[in-house]
Amino acid sequence: MNAATASTLSASGGGAGVPRHVAIIMDGNGRWAKARHLPRVAGHRKGAEAVRATIRAAGELGIEVLTLYAFSSENWRRPEEEVSDLKGLLRHYLLAELDELASNGIRLKVIGDYTRFGPELTRMLDDAIARTADNRSTTLVIALNYGSQDELVRAARALAEDARAGRIAPDAIDVAAIEARLDTADLPPPDLVIRTSGEHRLSNFLLWQAAYAELLFVDTLWPDFGRDDLFAAVADYGRRNRRFGGL
């Protein structure tokens, strides 16, 4: 499948076409490294190459939003050395890739409380977000220190404060009111959620937003995921009939 094929799929009425928003749970870095008798950080480094290839493929396909689950709120339970390696990799990625993101018109957005990564990384992320804010080709969303249950708790607290202050009536709280207070308030909901490495769970990722998303679980470990894998996933999605509860 190539970009022309994807465009044809999008225009045809026989299936779902090309998704506006693809979200990926990037899983399998550690297992990739273990199978090669390498340290886990080698898997994370190879996974960063897969990120680069996937972003480029998303641009070819015309995907508007690509969300990548990079670091969950539960990942702090991992060994301190691995967390430190991941922070270093994030720092390296921002330094190495920001120019390409900016030149390709990619807007960077972060969901989750990334301030926990410390002042240096917070500043780098803030600068990257500001530098790419006006870009319009693809929105790259990185989930950092993100957990969907925490996000929903924060939204509920914000609504409770608004109700207590009289800014909103309790009976006016509806789906739109909740969505307006989520980290993804300015994004369309994900059409397709992909998880690599053969696991079949969402792991606290976009639980509200993925209510009607198509799910695709693939055996490929994330470091081996690339352009052909994303094109194949979009082709699979394009053959599905999304009814949203209707007939």
Overall fold of domain 16-147+190-196: Undecaprenyl pyrophosphate synthetase (3.40.1180)
120 is annotated as contributing to ligand binding: no
Closest residue by Cα to residue 42 from 52, 51, 31: 31
**Angle at alpha carbon of residue 140, lines to 82 and 111, rounded to 5°:** 60
Amino acid (one-letter) located at 215? L
pLDDT in tens, 131-155: 999 999 999 999 999 999 999 999 9
Name the residue among 84, 81, 101, 92 with its Cα closest to residue 45: 92
Task: Tell whether residue 44 is among the known ligand binding residues.
Answer: yes
Res. 3 pLDDT band, cuts 50 70 90: very low
User: Strand 192-195 relative to strand 106-111: parallel, antiparallel, unpaired?
Assistant: unpaired
d(Cα 155, Cα 165) in Å, to the nearest integer?
15
Task: Please give the Cα distance from 48 to 95 (Å, whole number).
Answer: 13
pLDDT digits (tens, 9 = 90+) for 178-218: 999 999 999 999 999 999 999 999 999 999 999 999 999 99
Catalytic residues: 27, 75
pLDDT digits (tens, 9 = 90+) for 24-78: 999 999 999 999 999 999 999 999 999 999 999 999 999 999 999 999 999 999 9
Q: Binding site annotation covers 40?
A: yes
pTM for the structure as a whole:
0.92
Res 14: pLDDT: 56
214 is an annotated ligand-binding site residue: yes
